[in-house]
């Protein structure tokens, strides 16, 4: 194991985070705070509680998930896309470093950043709404698992993208709708039966549901299924990354 | 490819075992373009090897495969006893690469990027060593500058510093002096010489043939994906080096007397110059006989000069001859 290389990539990526702290951390925290003000305090105060949880508190896990998904994907995809775009990837390719180590470095840094953002949002949310966390260990487990999984997904997108537009299109056109329709702001039980069935094909439903369960003990789907689906998605991403490095897809001629 | 244990061939003095062995290497890109056609090449430990070839000859592809940036289609490369694919870790640890393009990060400082490179190649931090490299490359004053604020020449130095940061014993320089000013070029060659004195094997590609002529121990010529020739520089110059004797005639002549006519002797169109080509290696250059005959026929000359073909001419004739 080339630990020095993992550390080098990890620190390089984290340095990028600190260098762009305003857009890396301040901006997702600000936008989520706005959600809390609008949906949590302003609208939420006029809404009935859902399954015994006040609306303001109900949306906290969903909003954290929303940020983690978008931030993990955008960070990890940008982190690997930039060296490809600038050509500096030659150095990583010529270094004595395996695919696993490369991924640990890049994905590890992106996931760390997401976890930091998630934690900051959690603390910020506490300023707007009152909530408690029933299963803190599971909460952390879902937070870490989701950050890592979607950072891997972002890594795949960063490898696949050959233009800045493609880099933006997946987070914007696919992930944001999935996250909004995935029960971030409502319980899927509130949907008509037909749409409930459709919603079950949305992977984000399982993430949000599991994460919300760790807060309040209420969930749209069983927590075991949530965990299972998260792991399945993680395995899919691992498979994708494995394939990329075996074939050299878009990184090696 | 002969096995390593049967090197019964006598080797010229001052050379040693191969440090890189390329065997039957081919590369066909997805577009169908065949960049390398069965390349066999041996780089000897401690030498400066110059790889010459026109644009698109396969120089960069060859280097990229050895360094692990491009996958070979067939064939093997062994670097310092390690297969570059099966045994990539020890092989790559030994190799440093300065690519042709100026590809650097933009926002990182010089110090951060060099430190990153060292870590990437699995070496523990060694600030004293990195300081020495930056000082050698006149980058020490710029260590805290963002790379994007540096000039092109300085960026080139940064790329060299990055390649040297992990103490490689094999260094690839892909067109290191393209677009570089005179001062940096001189610094660079001094550095290359110093590295060689410390036992580093250097493989460089260049368009500047005088550089290869001045620096290299051996020269390889690649054209259209094939190694056309690999030769000790001096041997190459001797083997292919022709000398020409040009005689400026006192009075123009319309034709040469039949007994003077030969392939080696050309009369210029205006009849004022005679060009005699001879081989510096042969026992008898034939100059004395030529001059004697000329005076017998009453052909006087007012001036004469000899010229030796440069590596560039050799190179051009080789590449033309094969294409």
Burial A98-125 (b: 16+ CB within 10 A, else e): beebbbbbbbbbbbbbbbbbbebbbebb
Give the span between the Cα atoms of B133 and A178, in whole angstroms. Answer: 51
Which of B69, B116, B121 faces A96 most closely, judged by CB atoms? B121
Pick the more confident residue, B73 or A55.
B73
Residues belonging to chain A: 253
Mutate which: B61, B72, B120, B166, vs A, most A CBs within 10 A: B120
Weakly modelled stretches of chain B, pLDDT under 50: 1-14, 323
Name the pTM for this structure. Answer: 0.83
**Cβ B212 vs Cβ B50: under 8 Å:** yes
A162-166, A167-171, B284-288: range with lowest mean pLDDT: B284-288
Reading the block at residue A102, the tokens are: 């490369």
CB B44 within 8 A of CB B21: no
Mean pLDDT of all residues in A187-193: 85
The closest alpha carbon to B18, from B5, B37, B36, B27, belongs to B5
Q: Exposed, middle or buried, B55 (CB in 10 Å: 0-12/13-18/19+)?
A: exposed
A-B C-beta contacts closer than 8 Å: 82
* Inter-residue contact B77 to B84 (CB < 8 Å): yes
| Contact residues, chain B, for A100 at CB < 8 Å | none
What residues does A161 pair with on adjacent strands?
Answer: none
What pLDDT score was predicted for residue B12? 43
* Interface residue ranges in chain B relative to chain A, Cβ cutoff 8 Å: 29-30, 64, 67-71, 88-93, 95, 97, 99, 101, 103-108, 112, 115-124, 162
DSSP, residue by residue, B18-40: EEEEEEEEEEE-TTS-EEEEEEE
Listed by start position, the domains of chain A span 3-41+53-247
Cβ pair A94:B123 closer than 8 A: no
Report helix, strand or coil for B315. Answer: helix
B113, B155 contact by CB (below 8 A) = no
Structural domains of chain B in order of their starting residue, each with its CATH number: 4-238 (3.40.50.300), 241-309 (3.30.70)
Residues of A with Cβ-Cβ distance to B169 under 8 angstroms: none
- Of B70, B106, B119, nearest to A4 by CB-CB distance is B119
Q: Say whether residue A91 is in contact with chain B using an 8 A CB cutoff.
A: yes
- pLDDT attached to residue A181: 86
- Distance between CA atoms of residues B202 and B172, nearest Å: 6
Q: Do B120 and A248 touch (CB under 8 A)?
A: no
Q: Determine whether the interchain pair B92/A248 forms a contact, defined as Cβ–Cβ distance below 8 Å.
A: no
Which chain A residues touch B90 with a CB distance below 8 Å? 96
Name which of A8, A19, A248 is nearest B119 (Cβ-Cβ): A8
- Non-local CB neighbours of B133 within 8 Å, separated by 6+ positions: B114, B139, B161, B164, B165
Give me the mean pLDDT over the A151-164 stretch. Answer: 93
pLDDT in tens, A76-131: 999 999 999 988 999 999 999 998 899 999 999 999 999 999 999 998 888 888 88
| Cα gap A116→A68, rounded to integer Å | 10
Residues 6+ apart with CB under 8 A from B323: B223, B224
Do B243 and B313 form a contact (C-beta atoms < 8 A)? no
State the Cα–Cα distance between residues B5 and A251, nearest whole angstrom: 37
Contact A155, A241 (CB under 8 A): yes
ipTM of the complex: 0.87
The CA-CA-CA angle for residues A209, A213, A216, to 5°, reads: 130
Distance from CA of A241 to the nearest CA of B (A): 18
Q: Which helix (H) or strand (E) holds B185?
A: helix B182-197
- In angstroms, rounded to a whole number, what is the distance separating the alpha carbons of residues A207 and A226? 6
CB A55 within 8 A of CB A146: no
Angle at A222 between CA A216 and CA A223, to 5 degrees: 60
- Is A88 touching B (CB cutoff 8 A)? yes
- Cα maximum dimension of chain B: 79
**CA angle B44–B50–B53, rounded 5-degree value:** 130
Q: Minimal CA–CA distance to A20: which of A71, A70, A67, A64?
A: A71
Q: What is the residue whose two structure tokens read 């019964």?
A: B8
CB contact under 8 A, A8 and B108: no
CA dist A112 and B127 (Å) reads 27
CB atoms within 10 A of CB B263: 6
- How far apart are the C-alpha atoms of B117 and B110, rounded to whole Å? 11
| DSSP state at residue B124 | P
> Residues B294, B299, B305, B307: is their CA dihedral positive or negative?
negative
B275 membership: H or E segment, kind and range: strand B273-279
User: Which residue has 């070029």 as its token pair?
Assistant: B185
Q: B103, A87: Cβ pair inside 8 Å?
A: yes
Q: DSSP code of A25?
A: I
Chosen for mutation from A3, A13, A16, A253 (greatest number of chain B CBs closer than 10 Å) is A253
Beta-carbon separation of A5 and B116 below 8 A = no
B125 torsion bin: left (phi>0), alpha (psi -120 to 50), beta (else)? beta
Q: How far is CA B98 from CA A222, A229, B103, B172, B190, in A?
A: 55, 45, 10, 6, 16
Strands, sheet with B74-79, edge to edge from the N-terminal-most edge strand: B34-44, B18-28, B74-79, B82-83
Contact by Cβ (8 Å): B116, B104: no
**Distance between CA atoms of residues A7 and B259, nearest Å:** 80
By C-alpha distance, the chain A residue nearest B64 is: A94
Q: How many whole angstroms separate alpha carbon A12 and alpha carbon A79?
A: 10
Distance of CA B250 to the CA centre of its chain: 43
Structure tokens given for A74: 């955008």
């Amino acid at each position: 194991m080339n630990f020095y290389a993992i550390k080098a990539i990890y620190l390089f990526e984290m340095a990028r985070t600190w260098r762009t702290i305003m857009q890396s951390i301040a901006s997702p925290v600000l936008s989520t705070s706005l959600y809390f003000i609008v949906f949590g305090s302003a609208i939420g105060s006029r809404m009935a509680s859902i399954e015994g949880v006040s609306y303001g508190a109900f949306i906290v896990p969903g909003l954290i998930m929303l940020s983690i998904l978008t931030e993990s994907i955008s960070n990890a995809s940008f982190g690997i896309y930039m060296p490809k775009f600038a050509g500096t990837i030659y150095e990583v390719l010529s270094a004595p470093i395996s695919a696993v180590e490369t991924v640990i470095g890049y994905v590890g840094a992106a996931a760390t950043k997401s976890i930091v953002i998630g934690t900051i949002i959690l603390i910020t949310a506490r300023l707007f709404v009152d909530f408690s966390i029933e299963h803190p260990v599971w909460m952390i487990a879902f937070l870490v698992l989701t950050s890592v999984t979607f950072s891997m997904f972002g890594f795949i997108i960063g490898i696949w993208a050959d233009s800045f537009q493609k880099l933006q299109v997946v987070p914007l056109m696919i992930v944001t709708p999935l996250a909004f329709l995935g029960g971030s702001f409502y319980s899927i039980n509130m949907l008509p039966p037909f749409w409930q069935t459709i919603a079950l094909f949305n992977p984000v439903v399982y993430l949000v549901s599991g994460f919300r369960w760790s807060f309040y003990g209420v969930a749209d789907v069983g927590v075991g299924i949530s965990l299972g689906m998260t792991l399945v998605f993680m395995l899919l991403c691992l498979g994708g990354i494995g394939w990329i490095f075996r074939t050299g897809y878009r990184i090696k001629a | 490819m002969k096995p390593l244990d049967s090197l019964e061939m006598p080797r010229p003095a001052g050379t040693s075992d191969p440090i890189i062995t390329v065997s039957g290497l081919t590369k066909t890109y997805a577009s169908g373009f065949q960049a390398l056609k069965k390349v066999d090449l041996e780089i000897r430990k401690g030498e400066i090897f110059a790889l010459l070839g026109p644009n698109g000859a396969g120089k960069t592809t060859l280097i990229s495969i050895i360094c692990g940036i491009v996958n070979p289609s067939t064939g093997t490369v062994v670097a310092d006893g390690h297969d570059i694919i099966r045994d990539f870790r020890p092989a790559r640890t030994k190799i440093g690469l300065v690519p042709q393009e100026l590809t650097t990060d933009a926002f990182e400082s010089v110090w951060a990027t060099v430190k990153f490179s060292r870590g990437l190649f699995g070496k523990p931090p060694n600030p004293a060593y990195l300081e020495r490299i930056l000082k050698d490359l006149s980058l020490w004053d710029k260590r805290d500058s963002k790379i994007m604020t540096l000039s092109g020449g300085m960026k080139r130095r940064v790329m060299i510093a990055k390649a040297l940061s992990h103490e490689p014993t094999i260094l690839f320089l892909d067109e290191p002096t393209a677009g570089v000013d005179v001062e940096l070029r001189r610094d660079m060659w001094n550095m290359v010489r110093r590295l060689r004195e410390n036992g580093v094997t250097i493989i460089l590609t260049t368009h500047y043939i005088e550089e290869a002529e001045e620096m290299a121990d051996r020269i390889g010529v690649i054209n259209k994906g094939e190694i056309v020739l690999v030769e000790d520089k001096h041997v190459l110059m001797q083997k292919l080096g022709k000398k020409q004797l040009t005689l400026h005639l006192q009075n123009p002549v319309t034709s040469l007397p039949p007994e003077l006519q030969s392939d080696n002797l050309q009369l210029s169109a205006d009849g004022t110059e005679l060009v005699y080509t001879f081989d510096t290696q042969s026992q008898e250059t034939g100059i004395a006989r030529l001059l004697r005959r000329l005076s017998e026929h009453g052909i006087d000359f007012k001036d004469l000069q000899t010229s030796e073909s440069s590596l560039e001419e050799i190179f051009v004739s080789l590449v033309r001859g094969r294409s």
